[in-house]
């Protein structure tokens, strides 16, 4: 279960998110009425040239942004920073405004989970680390990648192109 502090932080960031998918904000408002399942947080990482994105190879989901479950007494933003470090070995300062909020099922036997997507810009010259069996990789923005969430490709590309065009959504 998510604690009240984490829930309120998720609500605040969901309201700020540039894009909403799957009626996520309404789901979140409804979830405020009772016990809430854990949230997920991920980071859309691009390079300063806005030509590549950083993904990790998940054993079941394919290529996905670094991310994971928000722990008890942790805000989604803090979870995103932690997951980025655990899965890629990188530290990045998240943009002030999250690029997206969405609902998705991470497994067929799980109920939908609210996921907050955050963003950061990190140079590709910094060595990658991460978890065994889940390698991170810089992928050209125009390259196709296999993922259980194919809609992410267009969502992430649109966001990165928006940043490249100078339509900032928050200070670094």
The 10s digit of each residue's pLDDT in 9-57 is: 888 888 888 888 888 888 777 777 765 667 899 999 999 999 999 999 9
**pLDDT confidence of residue 138:** 98
* H or E segment and range at residue 68: strand 67-69
Nearest in space to 56 (alpha carbons), one of 137, 156, 151, 122: 137
pLDDT at 120 over 90: yes
What pLDDT, on the 0 to 100 scale, is given for residue 2? 66
Residue 98: which region, alpha, beta or left (left: phi > 0; alpha: psi -120 to 50)? beta
Cα separation, 158 vs 152, whole angstroms: 10
Taking residues 78-106, report their average pLDDT: 93
pLDDT digits (tens, 9 = 90+) for 134-157: 899 999 999 999 998 889 999 999
Place of tokens 């016990």: 35
Tell me, what's the pLDDT at 89? 96
Residue 87: pLDDT above 90? yes
pLDDT at 91: 94
Contact call for residues 121 and 168 (beta carbons, < 8 A)? no
pLDDT tens across 56-79, in order?
Answer: 999 888 999 999 999 988 999 999
Tokens of 59: 């054993």
Q: How confident is the model at residue 172 (pLDDT cuts 50, 70, 90)?
A: very low
Query: pLDDT by residue (tens digit) across 99-118?
Result: 999 988 777 777 778 899 99
Alpha helix (H) residue ranges in 35-150: 76-88
Q: Is the pLDDT of residue 88 over 60?
A: yes
Selected residue with higher pLDDT from 168 and 116: 116
Residue from 128, 147, 130, 146 nearest 138 by CA = 128
Cα 115 from Cα 82, distance rounded (Å)? 15
Q: Where are the domains of the chain?
A: 4-164
Please report the pLDDT score of residue 171 as a whole number: 41
For domain 4-164, give the fold: Nucleoside Triphosphate Pyrophosphohydrolase (3.90.79)
């Amino acid at each position: 279960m998510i604690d009240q502090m984490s829930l309120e932080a998720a609500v605040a960031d969901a309201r700020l998110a540039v894009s909403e998918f799957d009626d996520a904000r309404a789901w979140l408002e409804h979830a405020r009425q009772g016990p809430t399942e854990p949230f997920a947080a991920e980071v859309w990482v691009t390079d300063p040239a806005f030509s590549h994105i950083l993904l990790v190879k998940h054993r079941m989901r394919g290529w996905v942004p670094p991310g994971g479950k928000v722990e008890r007494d942790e805000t989604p933003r803090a979870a995103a920073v932690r997951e980025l470090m655990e899965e890629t070995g990188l530290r990045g300062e998240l943009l002030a405004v999250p690029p997206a909020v969405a609902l998705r099922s991470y497994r067929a036997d799980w109920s939908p989970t609210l996921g907050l997507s955050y963003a950061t810009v990190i140079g590709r010259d910094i060595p990658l680390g991460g978890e065994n069996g889940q390698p991170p990789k810089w992928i050209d923005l125009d390259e196709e990648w296999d993922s259980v969430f194919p809609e992410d490709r267009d969502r992430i590309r649109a966001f990165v192109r928006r940043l490249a065009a100078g339509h900032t959504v928050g200070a670094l």
